[in-house]
Amino acid sequence: MAQVRVAVAGNPNTGKTSLFNRLTGANARVGNYAGVTVEREEATWRLPGLDVHMVDIPGTYSLAARSGEEQVAVRAIFGLDGAPRPELVLLVVDSTQLGRNLYLAVQLAEAELPFVIVLNLADVARAGGVAPDPARVASVFGVPAVLVSAQTGEGIEELGRVVRAAVEAPPRSHIDLRYPPGVEADIARLLPWTTAATAGEARALALWSLLSVDESDELLDVPEGVRREVAAIRADAARSGRDPDLEIVQARYAFVEAQDFGVGPPTQVGRPLSERVDRVVLNPYVGTLLFLVVMQTMFTALFSWSEPVVGLIEAGFEALGGALSAVLPAGVVTDLLVDGVVAGVGSVIVFLPQILLLFLFIGFLEDCGYMARVAFLVDRAMKAVGLHGRAFVPMLSGYACAVPAIMATRTLERQRDRLLTMMVVPLMSCSARLPVYTLVVATVFAEGAHTFGLPTRAVVMVGMYIFSTGMALLAAGVLGRTVLRGPKVPLLLELPPYRLPRWSGLLRQVWLRARSFLTEAGTTILAATVILWALLYFPRHQPLPGAPTDAASVSAAQLEGSYGGRLGQALEPLVQPLGYDWKIGVGLVGAFAAREVFVSTMGVIYGIGDGADESSLGLREKMQGERRADGTPLWTPLAGVSLMVFFALSAQCLSTLAVVRRESRSWRWPAFLFVYMTTLAWGASWIVWHGGHWLGLG
């Protein structure tokens, strides 16, 4: 069967990734704000007799590359990333925003690249009376154009036929666009420095150099001769009062706006509805209150909706542990399986329902367009800390996981902004912290308790997320004025119209998260749990003559004398000022592999030697019964808040440190991140513990 390589390109918010998923059934991320597709996704679109290898590249407004995301897009389209050059480009266009979206088509046509224009959102455009005529669009650019809807599936079959025909006979794109004499002279000066297969491509590369190369860019592999010539052109233009960038951009937009694409006057417009809603959502006071209400609703649902499923999972692991104990002989292997694997991994998987609900809520808010509004809403606060609202998009992604959020900083143009955002994204409360928060909140705050008329547990959860966000902004303000000083830049962020998410894509993404979590539970968490179980199981305790022989006393002596117990006692002087004991210290050490391991560590610590009846089902009850040497409860609300503050601020994630190393290309920044976050976590927890006692809250 024949195979071809096709790149899927387009502006952000055009439904590009939705179309990619529709065609291939792949699991690429779907979102409604610029920069969601940070790394290109690849999958196969199977047509009769033809396998189309699709490459979903990052959304970009033009081929002028200054940000890391734009560089990825340009390299993928021109085949400069080490991969084969695509035989065809599918340019996905928002049919309701032709004037802005077809700017990219102008650049592809200038480079004489074979491409097909996919006029997406046909249903929305038709409902608003602004659907373009594909034949007229095709005649302007000399390439096929197809009207489709990735949401409903309209036009997909026709698109398949057009792609097959374009692969067999690549379209010869062309446009009749001439620039002002000054720009034409600039192009002529750069042509001798360009190396290209065709005259059209050489001209396109010259235009690309004029728009992309300057003294502050971070482009790689640009010939020194091109840099010198562009610098000379800019100097000459400045002396004569010209702005080559403005002249090129204006000429391209003027060309697009002068064309007749068969678009009639709008009869019904979705944008005015979005604008009316935005008057409320973007109000600095009402919008902020609305955001808090949304967060409170989300975390209330995390507890109430997931509780029945949590109970089923707990009961299942309890039954599994009991069954293993009944059929296996007593000994080390049985203890490992029951108290190590089942109790440890089970105590983490029990939080899967909350994690899935969190991803479902956040994914829905992203896909319907609300998260972009939140970024706009916080722009003023972001400016105060030396960033802008667009940097808050990766920070919001940090609620899910810091790793892709750090990778999403590639959408920021300046290296300083990328580094500063990377340094504060790990402070956002990711989903890995959710099991810890949930366990601690459920342990130290009574079920049914209310604060200010709201469920206390939900209030505390929302408070932790607000606290982490506030600390991230505070850290950005401090670092932005000290270690990473730099000028402020204005916000450039598109607010897409509100749209209902495509549920198949959203649910598929939730399933991917579930599979990833379960895979982690089956590898990293399982390995860490087994190691911790061994540390707490060996060496075996032999009671001295006359010593208590009841199960509780033997279990306590075993824990204290084990290798893990000795490690925890060695660390106790460091964690005791925060309100913790040596058992929590052991959990903190294990949590550096993955934060969720803390929960499994508590499951192992409080499950060793207690038989099959004690699994994740009784973990909270056993923690609530833990006492200090003076007989007072260990797990009090103040101790719980101190521990959650530590987890909110500490850099307990090896994967995060690794991705910071990769993105910054230096060990300096992950080392700095680890030191400053660990110091901040210890100091803040110390203040909470001792400040709470001073206020009489202990």
pLDDT tens, residue by residue, 249-296: 999 999 999 998 987 665 544 456 777 888 899 898 899 899 888 877
Asked if residue 143 lies in contact with residue 115, where contact means CB atoms within 8 angstroms, the answer is: yes
More confident site: 621 or 677: 677
H helix runs in 15-133, sequence order = 16-24, 68-78, 98-110, 122-127
Does position 180 have pLDDT exceeding 50, yes or no? yes
**Alpha carbons 93 and 91: distance in angstroms, whole number:** 6
**pLDDT (tens digit per residue) in 500-553:** 787 877 887 788 767 766 776 566 667 777 887 888 788 887 776 766 766 656
Residue 286 in tokens: 């009402």
- Which pLDDT does position 669 carry in this prediction? 94
Q: Name beta bridge partners: 89.
A: 7, 115
Asked if residue 4 lies in contact with residue 50, where contact means CB atoms within 8 angstroms, the answer is: yes
Beta strands per DSSP E along 601-651: none
- Which pLDDT does position 671 carry in this prediction? 93
Bridge pairing between strands 50-56 and 115-120: unpaired
**pLDDT (tens digit per residue) in 121-139:** 998 888 877 889 999 999 9
- Measured CA to CA in angstroms, residue 177 lies from 55, 255, 256, 318 at distances of 29, 7, 10, 72
Asked if residue 9 lies in contact with residue 70, where contact means CB atoms within 8 angstroms, the answer is: no
- Which pLDDT does position 82 carry in this prediction? 63
Does position 639 have pLDDT exceeding 80, yes or no? yes
Does position 681 have pLDDT exceeding 90, yes or no? yes
**Alpha carbons 192 and 235: distance in angstroms, whole number:** 19
Residue 81 in tokens: 């990333």
Does position 570 have pLDDT exceeding 70, yes or no? yes
Q: CB count, 10 Å around CB of 505?
A: 24
The proportion of the chain whose per-residue pLDDT surpasses 90, expressed as a percent, equals 31
Return phi, psi of residue 608, to 5°.
-65, 130
pLDDT class of 81 with cuts at 50, 70, 90: low
Average pLDDT, the chain: 83
- Measured CA to CA in angstroms, residue 616 lies from 32, 341, 444, 620, 666 at distances of 39, 11, 16, 8, 41
Write the DSSP string, 370-386: HHHHHHHHTHHHHHHTT
Nearest to 107 by CA among 13, 198, 200, 204: 204
Asked if residue 23 lies in contact with residue 11, where contact means CB atoms within 8 angstroms, the answer is: no
Domains of the chain, earliest start first: 2-168 (3.40.50.300), 181-257 (1.10.287), 519-694 (no CATH)
Which whole number is the average pLDDT over 363-379? 81
Does position 487 have pLDDT exceeding 80, yes or no? no
Burial 117-152 (b: 16+ CB within 10 A, else e): bbbbbbbbbbbbebbbbbeebbebbebbbbbbbbbe
**Alpha carbons 64 and 205: distance in angstroms, whole number:** 10
Burial of 549 (0-12, 13-18, 19+ CB in 10 A): exposed
Does position 8 have pLDDT exceeding 50, yes or no? yes
Q: Which residue matches tokens 């992309």?
A: 212
84 half-sphere exposure, CB direction, 13 A CA radius: 9
Residue 170 in tokens: 């690549």
Please name the amino acid found at residue 496. Answer: P
Rg, Å, the chain Cα set: 29
**Alpha carbons 178 and 442: distance in angstroms, whole number:** 68
**Alpha carbons 648 and 644: distance in angstroms, whole number:** 6
Q: Which residue matches tokens 């085949």?
A: 79
pLDDT class of 616 with cuts at 50, 70, 90: very low
pLDDT class of 617 with cuts at 50, 70, 90: very low
**pLDDT (tens digit per residue) in 286-339:** 998 998 888 778 777 776 787 788 888 888 988 998 899 899 998 889 988 887
